[in-house]
């Protein structure tokens, strides 16, 4: 972070929430470099299961032992509570998934442990911070919401509150899942039916996805859209297989973000492709754009219109 940019001056920053593991880890690293202060003791994350909170945390804090993660790994005993009555915290940074741990430990016990660790100068990273906030009585020094976008803010005593971010990200995560599933379907069709001699580059747009090409491919985009819509209308189940694969119906597909999907292709609302490639004269790439959700777009050059709320 530049020395002339104090963390306290940040109101909020908004990033696209990427869908692949490597991209989420890299974004976490960037957020830590740009917005995290060495003195921060309480970090709060807000977002639904499968949004990528654990990967973002791994990118921000390499080597941090997560008490639970999206891969089903559960650390026992919970490090934050492993100190008994000594109230001695041997580590500098702790992680707790408040929603998950509340199923095994009384919430007030977790709240007291978080408060005690912070008072002793330790750092605590709390997932589902909107649930602990009412009992904890203090806001996070850095608050991160993960939905279709990643929103980073440094609250003051005047807010924003964790519930403000929760309202945004829980509303928008479904759009991200729809877009990701539609993107994988389009990539599957391209690989199966088009002889592409160049690697697909994945990029982002609000309520959709972007595939970039260094050379303009000879693809009929109306045909591609029709093939994808036909596939979507089959109402096929979408399921996680492992860290690099999903299944759509009985078909195995490679995917670097296997948990960020709808459960059935029928959940993809109003999928369509823009019927022309968009050329970026600065980076010299041709962009294939797919959209989901919202119907009315007044200006295609303003798809990424500024504003925290997604227009679904």
The per-residue pLDDT for range 110-131, each reduced to its tens digit, is: 999 999 999 999 999 999 999 9
Lowest-pLDDT range of 103-117, 254-268, 292-306: 292-306
Q: Give the pLDDT score at 50.
A: 83
Query: Please, what is the average pLDDT of the chain?
Result: 87
**Is pLDDT larger for residue 2 or for residue 264?**
264
Would you call 286 exposed, middle or buried from its count of C-beta atoms within 10 A (0-12, 13-18, 19+)? Answer: middle
279-308 mean pLDDT: 81
> Is the CB of residue 202 less than 8 Å from the CB of residue 301?
no
Distance CA 113, CA 162 (A): 20
CA dihedral 118, 119, 120, 122 (to 10 degrees): 10
DSSP string, 76-105: SS-GGGTTGGG----SSEEEEEHHHHTTTS
The answer to whether 246 and 261 have CB atoms below 8 angstroms apart is yes
pLDDT at 106 over 50: yes
Q: How far apart are CA 115 and CA 95, in angstroms?
A: 13
Q: Quick one: pLDDT at residue 307?
A: 59
Determine whether 27 is exposed, middle or buried from the number of CB atoms within 10 Å of its CB (0-12, 13-18, 19+).
Answer: buried
Same fold, 7-160 and 174-302: no
Segments making up each domain of the chain, as ranges: 7-160, 174-302
d(CA 241, CA 252) in angstroms, rounded, equals 8
Whether pLDDT at 237 is above 90: yes
Which numeric CATH code is attached to 174-302?
Answer: 3.30.980.10
Query: Which residues share a beta bridge with 279?
Result: 286
Average pLDDT of the residues in 33-60:
93
Nearest-angstrom CA–CA distance, 310 and 249: 30
Q: Which 8-state DSSP code applies to residue 307?
A: -
Pick the CATH number of 7-160 from 3.40.50.300, 3.30.750.24, 3.30.70.20, 3.30.9.10: 3.40.50.300
pLDDT-derived band at 1 (thresholds 50, 70, 90) equals very low
Q: What is the pLDDT of residue 8?
A: 61
Strands 42-46 and 201-205: unpaired
What's the pLDDT band for 193 if we cut at 50, 70, 90?
Answer: confident
């Amino acid at each position: 972070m530049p020395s002339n940019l104090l963390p306290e001056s940040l109101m909020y920053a908004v990033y696209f929430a990427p869908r692949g593991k490597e991209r989420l880890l890299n974004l976490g690293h960037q957020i830590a470099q740009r917005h995290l202060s060495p003195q921060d003791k309480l970090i709060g994350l807000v977002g639904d299961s499968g949004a990528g909170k654990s990967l973002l945390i791994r990118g921000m804090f390499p080597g941090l032992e997560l008490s639970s993660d999206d891969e089903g790994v559960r650390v026992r005993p919970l490090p934050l509570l492993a100190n008994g009555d000594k109230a001695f915290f041997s580590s500098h940074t702790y992680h707790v998934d408040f929603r998950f741990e509340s199923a095994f430990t009384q919430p007030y016990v977790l709240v007291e442990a978080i408060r005690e660790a912070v008072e002793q100068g330790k750092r605590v990273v709390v997932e589902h911070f909107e649930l602990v906030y009412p009992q904890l009585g203090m806001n996070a020094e850095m608050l991160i919401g993960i939905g279709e976008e990643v929103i980073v803010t440094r609250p003051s005593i005047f807010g924003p509150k964790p519930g403000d971010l929760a309202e945004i990200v829980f509303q928008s995560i479904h759009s991200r899942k729809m877009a990701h599933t539609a993107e994988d379907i389009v990539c599957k069709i391209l690989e199966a039916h088009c002889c592409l001699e160049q690697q697909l580059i994945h990029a982002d747009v609000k309520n959709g996805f972007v595939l970039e090409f260094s050379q303009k491919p000879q693809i009929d985009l109306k045909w591609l859209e029709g093939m994808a819509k036909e596939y979507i209308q089959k109402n096929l189940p979408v399921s996680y297989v492992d860290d690099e694969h999903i299944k759509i119906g009985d078909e195995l597909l490679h995917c670097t973000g296997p948990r960020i999907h709808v459960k059935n292709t029928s959940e993809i609302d109003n999928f369509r492709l823009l019927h022309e490639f968009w050329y970026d004269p600065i980076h010299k790439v041709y962009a294939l754009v797919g959209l989901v959700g919202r119907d009315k777009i007044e200006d295609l050059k303003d798809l990424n219109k500024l504003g925290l709320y997604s227009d679904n």
